[in-house]
Amino acid sequence: DGGITQSPKYLFRKEGQNVTLSCEQNLNHDAMYWYRQDPGQGLRLIYYSQIVNDFQKGDIAEGYSVSREKKESFPLTVTSAQKNPTAFYLCASTPTGISTDTQYFGPGTRLTVL
């Protein structure tokens, strides 16, 4: 079953803790993305990666970090420096790098800071 998986579906974190969200794809896509979605808002780009071992900041990268050690994996760490981390996080991928390609999304992870 091809696609993008994100885990966990729900995540709770205490204030001051770092937490890592998983994103895996078996579509053999080169590019992967992380978005944040707040209620009633569109998607805002956090980070993206066009190839392994390379990534760029999006519009709201502060307080987040990523790695791209493998083509199929693009984990996102929400650090304690992120002041308002409660949100719905979406991972996406495209066959090639930043280009006019359709993005395919995972099911999302809802992060709640207690």
Partner 1 sequence: GESVGLHLPTLSVQEGDNSIINCAYSNSASDYFIWYKQESGKGPQFIIDIRSNMDKRQGQRVTVLLNKTVKHLSLQIAATQPGDSAVYFCAENKAGTALIFGKGTTLSVSS
39 binds partner 1 (CB under 8 A): no
User: What residue spans of 1-114 are helical by DSSP H?
Assistant: none
Among 2, 40, 69, 114, binds partner 1 (CB under 8 A): 40
Q: Is the CB of residue 35 less than 8 Å from the CB of residue 45?
A: yes
Q: From the list 13, 22, 27, 45, which residue makes contact with partner 1 (rule: CB under 8 A)? A: 45
Task: Using the Cα atoms of residue 62, residue 17, residue 37 and residue 101 in order, give the sign of their dihedral.
Answer: positive
Note whether 105 and 91 are within 8 A (CB).
yes
53 binds partner 1 (CB under 8 A): no
Instruction: Kindly list the residues in this chain that would bind partner 1 in the complex (CB under 8 A).
Output: 4, 6, 33, 35, 40-45, 48, 58, 90, 92, 98-100, 102-108, 110
